[in-house]
């Protein structure tokens, strides 16, 4: 086949343009290609609240995608007994998940509910345009704004409010994720979930009951009272845990709304087979913990090989066990002893020539003079606060514990059989095997550095919750346990 001189010159120029241009130039060319994709038809976007995501895009052509989102300011629960007024996109924290594909033309309508107090807007990191859409979407209560944009780059992107003071709007829960799938869609998996971390700053301390307001001073100093997944303590634990079956592949779309803290996302007992670094096109493999900056996101895929409860955490670990950044993936199915054996053998370890070392004890517990025994209702209320600060991470919000790690307190035969023994464990700690509701647990509980009054309160709360025997534990009884 003969090639005309003009054709040869054009071909050579194209090769030079592709191989001779810089990375930035290639991005421009890619963006131009995406912008040129022709849309075929119109479809209303499916929007979902966390932890759920819309159906995959698959092989559908680029379309005009109609997104209707409402801003709602509403009171919700940050933790047991702790209320907070969230500002939300779509009524949830994080906001509704948006799923698109490269080349879509997104027609976005943002409505500000007439009962709201403040104006808001939206900055979508997937938008190429001034303010990510913020300049076109500033809307007062009782009004709505519509703008459109072309999705040029595949990836997982954060969106958030960008109305001044921007940090305050984000800190009150105004963030979410928008996924732009590549042409042909993402590789299929069995389960997909939506998780987003956020740090919250309240006028009261962590666990302080009642309606809490936003604290600007703490936010500026980055002194978070709560660091949570999906807007509240326990949003992904107990009955709210995400689920899978042995042998299934799981994909997590994980974002970090911030406004301040970087997330060190980790699933205890799993390894990420694939990580879309920062939610983009670069793929990392066999990753233990992945860093997600404030205002960033990532996609992680893994296969669940064995059953059990897998704990999701921010591995800045005090955030997980003390501030709320903890979730659960519950996996059902047959054991796979080739992958994980469980306990194969148990014995006594005799260090230092046969002298069994005892567990280190905490500092002496605080003592507070008892003026008057509280009412039962007051002890239960105060005890719940102590529980959420001290016991929640291991024993969970409804006392269900963590399988194979920490025993349940709910309907616990071990707990109900001997109140003084339970008080002694709180005061002095416990090491070694116990059997609770027919199951063996072998872990360590350190002595709790709390006062006798706090022990009486928290034990009364536990005994009067979750089907236990309703014992009213007095301070005098706590003092008598040595």
What are the DSSP calls for 38-55, one per residue? PP-SEEEPP-B-TT--PP
pLDDT digits (tens, 9 = 90+) for 420-468: 999 999 988 887 789 999 988 877 777 788 899 999 999 999 999 999 9
Q: Looking at the structure, give the CATH architecture of the domain made up of residues 366-480.
A: Orthogonal Bundle (1.10)
**Residue 276 assigned to a binding site:** no
Give residue 345's pLDDT.
63
The reply to whether omega before 94 is within 30° of 0 (cis) is yes
**Residue 160 assigned to a binding site:** yes
pLDDT digits (tens, 9 = 90+) for 174-196: 999 999 999 999 999 999 999 99
Give residue 429's pLDDT.
85
Give residue 346's pLDDT.
57
Query: Which residue spans of the chain are classified as CATH 1.10.760.10?
Result: 366-480
Residue 136 — very low, low, confident or very high, per pLDDT cuts 50/70/90?
Answer: very high
Q: At what angle do helices 452-463 and 376-390 cross, to 10 degrees?
A: 100
| SS3 of residue 358 by DSSP | coil
**Residue 120 assigned to a binding site:** yes
Among 300, 314, 299, 301, CA closest to 156: 299
Give residue 440's pLDDT.
85
Does residue 471 have a pLDDT over 90? yes
**Residue 315 assigned to a binding site:** yes
Query: Which residue spans of the chain are classified as CATH 2.60.40.420?
Result: 42-186, 192-332
Residue 112 — very low, low, confident or very high, per pLDDT cuts 50/70/90?
Answer: very high
Residues 6+ apart with CB under 8 A from 409: 391, 395, 399, 401, 415, 462, 466, 468
Give residue 447's pLDDT.
77
Give residue 448's pLDDT.
81
Does residue 25 have a pLDDT over 50? no
Give residue 385's pLDDT.
85
pLDDT digits (tens, 9 = 90+) for 220-242: 999 999 999 999 999 999 889 99
Class level of CATH domain 192-332? mainly beta
Residue 29 — very low, low, confident or very high, per pLDDT cuts 50/70/90?
Answer: very low
Give residue 13's pLDDT.
41
Residue 88 — very low, low, confident or very high, per pLDDT cuts 50/70/90?
Answer: very high
Mean pLDDT for all residues in the chain: 88
**Residue 395 assigned to a binding site:** no
pLDDT digits (tens, 9 = 90+) for 295-348: 999 999 999 999 999 999 999 999 998 999 999 999 999 999 999 987 666 555
Give residue 369's pLDDT.
54
125-164 CB burial, b ≥16 within 10 A, e <16: bbbeeeebbbebbbbebeebbebbbbbbbbbbbbbbbbbe
Give residue 79's pLDDT.
92
**Residue 428 assigned to a binding site:** no
Among 216, 205, 128, CA closest to 170: 216
Q: At what angle do helices 419-428 and 452-463 cross, to 10 degrees?
A: 130
**Residue 1 assigned to a binding site:** no
Token representation of residue 141: 């209560």
The domain over range 42-186 is classified in CATH as 3.40.50.1110 = no
pLDDT digits (tens, 9 = 90+) for 31-80: 558 899 999 999 999 999 999 999 999 999 999 999 999 999 999 999 98
Give residue 404's pLDDT.
67
Task: Report how far residue 448's alpha carbon sits from residue 124's, in angstroms, rounded to the nearest whole number.
Answer: 46
Token representation of residue 118: 């403040």
Give residue 188's pLDDT.
97
Does residue 3 have a pLDDT over 50? no
pLDDT digits (tens, 9 = 90+) for 358-389: 445 544 445 445 457 899 999 999 998 888 87
Residue 392 — very low, low, confident or very high, per pLDDT cuts 50/70/90?
Answer: confident
């Amino acid at each position: 086949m003969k090639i005309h001189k003009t054709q040869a010159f054009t071909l050579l120029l194209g090769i030079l343009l592709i191989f001779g241009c810089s990375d930035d130039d290639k991005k421009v060319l890619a963006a131009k290609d995406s912008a040129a994709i022709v849309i075929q038809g119109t479809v209303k976007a499916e929007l979902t609240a966390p932890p759920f995501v819309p159906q995959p895009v698959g092989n559908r052509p680029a379309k005009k995608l109609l997104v209707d989102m409402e801003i709602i300011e509403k009171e919700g629960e940050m933790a047991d007994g702790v209320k907070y007024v969230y500002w939300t996109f779509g009524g949830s924290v994080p906001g509704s998940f948006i799923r698109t594909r490269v080349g879509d033309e997104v027609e976005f309508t943002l409505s500000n509910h007439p009962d709201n107090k403040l104006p808001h807007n939206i900055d979508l990191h997937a938008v190429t345009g001034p303010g990510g859409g913020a300049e076109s979407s500033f809307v007062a209560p009782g009004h709505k704004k519509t703008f459109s944009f072309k999705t040029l780059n595949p990836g997982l992107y954060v969106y958030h409010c960008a109305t001044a003071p921007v940090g305050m709007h984000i800190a009150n829960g105004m963030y979410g994720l928008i996924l732009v799938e590549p042409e042909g869609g993402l590789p299929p998996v069995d389960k997909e979930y939506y998780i987003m971390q956020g740090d919250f700053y309240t006028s009261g301390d962590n666990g302080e009951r009642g309606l809490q307001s936003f604290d600007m001073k703490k936010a500026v100093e980055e002194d978070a009272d709560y660091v949570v997944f999906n807007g509240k303590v326990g949003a992904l634990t107990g009955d709210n845990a995400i689920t899978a079956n042995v042998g299934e592949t799981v994909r997590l779309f994980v974002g970090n709304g911030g406004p301040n803290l970087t997330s060190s996302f980790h699933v205890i007992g799993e390894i990420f087979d694939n990580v879309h670094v920062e939610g983009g096109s670069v793929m990392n493999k066999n990753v233990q913990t992945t860093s997600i900056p404030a205002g960033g996101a990532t996609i992680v895929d893994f296969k669940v090989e064995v059953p059990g409860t897998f704990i999701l955490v921010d591995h800045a670990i005090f955030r997980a066990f003390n501030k709320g950044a903890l979730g659960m993936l519950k996996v059902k199915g047959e054991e796979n002893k080739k992958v994980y054996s469980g306990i194969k053998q148990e014995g006594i370890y005799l260090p230092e020539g046969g002298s069994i070392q005892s567990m280190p004890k905490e500092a002496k517990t605080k003592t507070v003079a008892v003026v008057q025994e509280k009412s039962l209702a007051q002890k239960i209320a105060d005890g719940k606060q102590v529980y959420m600060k001290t016991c929640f991470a291991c024993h969970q919000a409804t006392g269900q514990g963590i399988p194979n790690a920490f025993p349940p307190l709910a309907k616990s035969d071990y707990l109900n059989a001997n109140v003084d023994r339970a008080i002694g464990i709180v005061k002095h700690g416990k090491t070694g095997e116990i059997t609770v509701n027919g199951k063996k647990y072998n872990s360590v509980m350190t002595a709790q550095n709390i006062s006798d009054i706090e022990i009486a309160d928290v034990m009364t709360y536990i005994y009067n919750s979750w089907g236990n025997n309703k014992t009213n534990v007095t301070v005098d009884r706590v003092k008598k346990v040595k």
